[in-house]
Amino acid sequence: MNRDVLFNSYIEEDELHEECGVFGIYDFDGGDVASTIYYGLFALQHRGQESCGIAVSDTNGPKRKVLSHKGMGLVNEVFTPEILEGMKGDIGVGHTRYSTAGSSTRENAQPLVLNYVKGTLALAHNGNLINANELREDLEYTGAIFQTTIDSEVIAYHIARERINCSSAEEAVKRACMKLKGAYALVVASPRKLIAARDPYGFKPLCIGKRDNCYIVTSETCALDTVGAEFIRNVLPGEVVTITPDKGIESDMSMALPKEQEARCIFEYIYFARPDSHIDGVSVYASRIKAGRFLAQDSPVEADLVTGVPESGNAAALGYSLESGIPYGTAFVKNSYVGRTFIKPKQSSRESSVQVKLNVLKEAVAGKRVIMIDDSIVRGTTSDRIVRMLREAGATEVHVRISSPPFLWPCYFGTDIPAREQLIAYNRSVEEICKIIGADSLGYLNIERLEEMSEGLPICKGCFTGKYPMEPPKEDIRGEYFDKESDLAKKQM
């Protein structure tokens, strides 16, 4: 995809995206797991809507036989009952993807399946590596031939290479992970083991569940709920977990950092995760309610109605209402059927892509002073249209409150926050942004409130402060649409 096409697609879609959702399962009783993976991925669809895939194998069958299917589109577009019925196996992994590094093509869909001298490997990865180019070059100069442009394949190759020189698959995963810099939540199916690993900072979430005699590792607890599994615990930052019938859950914490150095992505709580999930023991819904309460305390305004921009703004709007006493109400109707296949209108067309996705309930806002809560403002192109829609529906005032601080820096760890020059908050005051989006007032969440949202868990705030848990990469790793000459590459921690 060329630079202009990619750039335009991001300009039109003024929303944040996460990279992936992962799901792994091992049925110790030997039952087929493909349909369970399907429903798990369905619960994780919000984490990636470009592509998806499933890979399964039979632990009692031939070592090198892995059945896999993947494709572009939503889970229910890629898989049919007939496809799932043909996927026989008691261990497997699944993946939903949104690309932040590597183009959006079928070749880059996951899981990745490798056949090598020790058997097979099926891998699903969530996150971004900041040293992927370096690791890739090391492999290429020793003869490796890559089929994709994603860093997940780099991880898979390094695991396979390490496996040749050590006694177990889990040791190979750990040795490979020790070479990685950046964010990763991995689920790996070897011929007889389900292995999970989380980077030492804990950027991306990963948890373990159990249903009958099945063990599951997945990105969010909502996927466990969907398949009727009981939450057991989280995979800890820096932990490698191995699950087998003989030994159950085994843990290796040799990669762990001191607790205070951990750095979970705060946007799991603000936006990415489903509100019915718990991330590292903290309720996502409760975090968003808190954010709304904090906004009401720190940025109060007189109004008649508080409303949220669906879906991630709703809980924060309720929190604002509870704290302020201003009634909460629904002002927007969202078209639930607008997904990956939505064709954005051309600029010359009268239809607005925002209005195709959202419509305003005129009866709810006409003649009222409205407080509109959203999770973030990236470029501002969506916010100004939504404010305009509220005014055209009869709102007398529109006050915008954002349940995150202003974006000032890009992200290198799996969130598609673009280069600084494309961010509306770059070199602009809150007052200037307010004028651009056409609101009567604008308030952001105070950055000091973020730790309260995460109940004191160590978090990454790099996209707000420019201070990252590790030194940022010296070269662009995320695609052509990012500015390789950004002064971020020169900024030190």
Residue 211 tokens read as 């249903």
Q: Which residues pair with 67 in a beta bridge?
A: 56
Residue 243 phi, psi (nearest 5): -120, 120
- Secondary element (H or E) of residue 297: helix 284-298
Q: Which of 20, 177, 214, 463 is catalytic?
A: 20
Q: What is the 3-state secondary structure (H, E, C) of 215-236?
A: EEEECCHHHHHHCCCEEEEECC
CA-nearest of 441, 437, 492, 449 to 14 is 437
Strands (E), 213-304: 214-218, 230-234, 240-244, 248-252, 264-265, 278-279, 282-283
The one-letter code for the residue type at 305 is: L
**Cβ atoms of residues 316 and 290 within 8 Å:** no
CA–CA dist 319, 492 (Å, integer): 37
CA-nearest of 196, 176, 175, 58 to 123 is 196
CA-nearest of 91, 160, 479, 448 to 291 is 448
CA atoms within 13 A on the CB side of 69: 19
**Cβ atoms of residues 362 and 329 within 8 Å:** no
The one-letter code for the residue type at 115 is: N
Residue 50 phi, psi (nearest 5): -90, -40
Catalytic, 20? Answer: yes
Per the document, the length of the chain is 493
| Active site positions, annotated | 20
